[in-house]
Amino acid sequence: MIDVTRLDGTQITINAELIETVEEVPDTVIKLTTGKKIIVKESRQKVKSLVKLYKWQIFQDYINPEDE
Amino acid sequence: MDLATLIGLGAALGLMVFGIAQGEEGILSIKAFWDPASVLITFGGAFMAMLATSPDIPGFLGSLKTFKLTLKKVDVDEESTIKNIINLSNVARKEGLLALEEAANSIEDEFLKKGLLLIVDGTDPELVRSIMETELMCIESRHKDGIGFWEALGAAGPAWGMIGTLIGLINMLGNLSDINSVGPNMAVALVTTFYGSLLANWICTPVASKLKANNAAEIAMKEVTVEGLLSIQAGENPRVIEEKLKSFLSPDKRASMLDSQGGEE
């Protein structure tokens, strides 16, 4: 799940697994597999890095479990 | 000024009077069609019964005022609405949705302006659709109230005319002994039905139908506007939006839009 910012400034967390496409028109439109479209301030590349970061963080928690 | 309404109503009355005047007595035969008592029973009864159905007196007067709407020409300019939306989509495509705020200030259409400001505020597309559709429903329901009033009046007219006829017949049958008065009294009885039918078919039915047609045109145009706005918000390609909106028009209107665009470029 990644944190993105809507056009009016509010933060929203969306399910990264549901992202189908990210388009810049020129505002970034994230289209989900549900058909819903969300317009966000972050750029296309930034959205991509956010997803990678999120998955890396999960992996980090896996190889370095905190309860050790 | 809606000439169709004016000429239609005026000519209908004129032709009817002309037809009446074709009789032996010429224009004087109109006298047979004028009876103050009948006017009171039919028109007075019908309108006052409608007053009883209205929620309050201002409401009743307001419903009567909707007659003025038939005289006003409904300016449903589909071409300019669609052109507006296409221009806005080009602006959004080049400069982003927030640039629409400035463009929204120069828009005269209140409905379109409202939708634009919702988009610029970053409202969720589903919420935008829901708000615009609720407004559409309210507009339609207000129109339906006016239409319903004229339809009800159109039903009340002949009904009260019938009441007048019954009154006349009751009086007439009470005086059957005087054979000479039977004819004229019967004529007076029928005049009320004439007034009732006149009220319904000359005024009420045409007004109700015209209001219905105007309503349909306005709602159709506003639905096109909503589709256009949501497409802009979704960031669709302006050419795609143009094709989408043009499919709402009839083929000859589509062609005339193409012509005017060809002329500009």
CA atoms within 13 Å, Cβ hemisphere of B96: 14
Question: What's the complex ipTM?
Answer: 0.70
Contact (CB<8Å) B96/A26: yes
Q: Predicted confidence band at B262 (pLDDT cuts at 50, 70, 90)?
A: low
Query: What does the pLDDT read at residue B265?
Result: 44
Q: Which residues in chain A are closer than 8 Å to B97, comparing Cβ atoms?
A: 7, 27, 39
Report the alpha-carbon distance of residue B218 to residue B69 in Å, rounded: 13
Q: Which of B130, B192, A20, B245 is nearest to A29 (CA)?
A: A20
Report the alpha-carbon distance of residue A41 to residue A10 in Å, rounded: 10
Q: CA B1 → CA B6, B13, B68, B109, B213, distances in Å?
A: 8, 19, 10, 20, 16
**Which of A7, A29, A36 comes nearest B98 by C-beta?**
A7
Contact (CB<8Å) A29/B95: no
Q: Which residues in chain A are closer than 8 Å to B93, comparing Cβ atoms?
A: 25-26
Q: Predicted confidence band at B261 (pLDDT cuts at 50, 70, 90)?
A: low
Q: pLDDT of B147-158, one tens digit each? A: 999 999 999 999
Query: What does the pLDDT read at residue A53?
Result: 95
Q: Which residues of chain A have pLDDT under 70?
A: 67-68
**Which helix (DSSP H) or strand (DSSP E) does residue B56 occupy?**
none
Give, as one character, the DSSP assignment of residue A12.
E
| CA-derived radius of gyration, chain A | 14
Q: pLDDT of B164-185, one tens digit each? A: 999 889 888 888 888 887 887 7
Query: What does the pLDDT read at residue B174?
Result: 85
